[in-house]
Chains A and B, each alone.
Chain A
Amino acid sequence: MDLRFWTLSQALTGNVALNALLAEAVLVGISRDRTQQVEQLLQAWAAKPADADPQVWIAEHLWADAAMRRVCHDAILSWYFGQTFREGKAQPTPEVDPDTLAALWFSGSFWALSKAHVPGLPGGYFGHWSYPGEA
């Protein structure tokens, strides 16, 4: 696992509880066809001053650069929706095995923030959708 990508992902998603084992799959997915660009992004992140506020630093350094911003967007989408994104679209990632891709899908965090469960998993009991959202 690339520690730089994992810590950057935590900052981009505001979520420290990301599954480190899946970070490699997300990185492979977003890197396809633009390895150099992604490496530049990770180097920039690694060079961030230790005392810099990550959110402020990202806004000033990564968001200001269109290409880096695009990669960051794809990383965020990948973590929220459990698929690998490039240029804003979910894209095939044959380098990653199907079981890992499935595990990635079921780790997508958008659904929990919506007070729902990941599509494909059951909601627990018949009629649960008739009541307020899931904790």
Chain B
Amino acid sequence: MDADIVIVGAGVAGALAAWRLSSHGHKVMLVDAGSTVGRSGAIGQWSAATAKTLAAPYRRAETDRFAPSPDGPSDYKYVDGSSRFKSTYLRRVGGSTWHWQGSTPRLIPNDFRMLSQFGVGVDWPIGYDELELWYARAEEALGVAGHHEAWNGVHGAWRSGPFPMAQIWPSHLDKLVAEKADGLEFDGANLRVRSTPQARNSRPYQGRPPCAGNSICIPICPIQAKYDATVHVALALANGAQLLDQTVACRIATVDGHVDGIELASWNDAGEVTRRTVRARRYLIAAHSIESARLLLASGIGSASVVGHNLMDHPTGEVVGFAIEPVYGFRGPPVTSGIDEWRDGTWRTDRAAWKLSLGNDGHGRFRTPEATVQRWMDQGLFGVALRKQIEEHAPRMLRISWAAEQLPDAENYLELVPQSVDALGVPTVRLKYSVAPYTLASFGNIRKLIMSIYQAVGITDAETASDPTVYGGSGHVMGTCRMGNDPVSSVVDASCRVYEHEDLFVVGASVFPTVGTANPTLTIAALSLRLAETLDIELKRGA
């Protein structure tokens, strides 16, 4: 045996499991397709990059060759007739937490019981009450800043204890919006602006500094005030875990319902590839929703009618405008507060739940500052007049965005592309994706509420997408290996074990049966910590 457990994927799910299991003395081998990232080098690369995309700090020719990461919707292959899937992920040690926003709300109780409460979607085989302990431990592990009183009991999501640190300070614009719009009545609820829980330090924590407001959390925090999974990769390594970076898991070999090793291909910067098979007592696939499903499909594990299916995101949209007074955006974390009243309601029988975020980043993705200045130039402005226009308008830029729930849909899937392999010979995948009327039905309502908020804060020139079905991606790639109670409709059981494979587990957002409206990372972390305890018990038992 090469290890007690091989973990594929050194993102947040894999890193946390590696940390816990290595803390218990188990021999852990952690494998990641991508390279180990040096923060200062990545910052330098980002500073000099002309196109400051999500992947800009992380681009490396060899990594992009052997472990490419999608940097936009056009980097995916699609089944004919598919809509674009607008979220991406990063294949590097530390995974997508390198460029995540850092928001860590919990799912709420009804998110786990969509079928029994609302007659849509499916129920999870576990509920909020069972996961609460793990949510609390995940908040401790990641270092979540939040306001306990503001969040305890929201939509029934009780909390067993306070956050490990005080909330991140609300931005100036959060305070202005709260002052003008708190209490606004809409669709049976009253609006309240709340500080968003986030894995971003409001005090020194785990040897990392508090946030200094560098405002480039996406794509990289220069000082690691924002949690990323390299924190737990480092802790696992300190415990004796072995890290194989630049190593792609190509296939899981199985014999009689047991894993007989994982075939790895390691590559180096000279472009040389070496292959070997590693064996362990347990195997954990934590390679993000698309790569985990791809590995199972490439290995012929699980039913192809379930594996890869129910791909989900939180479709987004934005309404932007210019406030009547300066709100002073472009400072601090991208989101410090949000509005969560409409994450639950009896109407979830017919339309999606949603949450709003107040953006500290001007007009966000709706219109970049460059595009705004370009518009002003197109109106004939330049020189002193343009400068004055920027000075008067840029501090007043306000954005409110939404993220809506998407139900599981077997017709949203990824599948292997026949006779197509990547540079390492691993089958490639293509996506089939669309956003259903259930989700789109909420978009109109959401816009109405945002317009009411804008009216309250004195914005009269609000803009949003003219096509009401336009959606963006949240960067939340979920589903594809869902958790359930039977192998006909799910890939893993309630403990995240792959059906009919005693020694094989999957964890991450891939196992979410439904997605509610919470950013997925805290739930990923909670599930990973919960699974690590199961694995610790099994490994100690000598099974």
Contact = CB atoms under 8 A, between A and B. Distances in A.
B169 A126 contact: yes
Contacts of A127: 169
Contacts of B329: 114, 116
Nearest to B361: A119
Nearest to A106: B47
Given A106-B47, A114-B390, A122-B212, A81 B382 contact: no
Interface residues of B, number: 53
A31 interface: no
A130 B395 contact: no
Contacts of B172: 129-133
Interface in B192-237: 202, 210-216, 222-223
Given A122-B212, A130-B172, A110 B331 contact: no
A122 B214 contact: yes
Contacts of B374: 73, 77, 88
B382 A116 contact: no
Interface centre among A14, A59, A73, A101 (most CB of B within 10 A): A14
A115 B96 CA distance: 31
Contact of A133 (B169, B214, B222, B328): B328
Contacts of A84: 50
Contacts of B332: 123, 128-130
B392 to A, nearest CB: 9
B456 interface: no
Given A76-B382, A131-B172, A101 B370 contact: no
A115 B332 CA distance: 12
Contacts of A88: 370, 374
A120 interface: yes
Given A115-B326, A128-B332, A120 B387 contact: no
B44 A98 contact: yes
A20 interface: no
Contacts of A129: 169, 171-172, 213, 328, 331-333, 336, 360
Contacts of B397: 114
A121 interface: yes
B470 interface: no
A116 B329 CA distance: 7
Interface string A54-74: 110011000100000000110
A74 to B, nearest CB: 10
Contact of B395 (A14, A77, A101, A114): A114
A99 interface: yes
Nearest to A99: B48
Contact of A110 (B171, B214, B328, B394): B394
Nearest to A129: B332
Contact of A123 (B214, B369, B373, B382): B214
Interface of A: 11-15, 54-55, 58-59, 63, 72-73, 76-77, 80-81, 83-85, 88, 90-93, 98-99, 101-102, 105-106, 110-111, 113-117, 119-134
Given A63-B382, A132-B328, A133-B331, 20 more contacts: A11-B383, A12-B383, A13-B383, A55-B383, A55-B385, A58-B382, A76-B382, A77-B374, A84-B50, A91-B51, A101-B47, A101-B48, A102-B44, A120-B222, A122-B222, A123-B212, A124-B212, A132-B172, A133-B172, A133-B328
Instruction: Give 10 closest A-B pairs by Cβ, nearest first.
Output: A129-B332, A123-B213, A122-B212, A14-B384, A98-B48, A102-B47, A127-B169, A116-B330, A114-B394, A133-B328
18 contacts: A11-B383, A73-B374, A77-B373, A80-B390, A90-B50, A92-B50, A92-B51, A102-B44, A110-B373, A113-B387, A113-B391, A116-B330, A119-B215, A120-B216, A123-B212, A129-B331, A130-B169, A132-B172
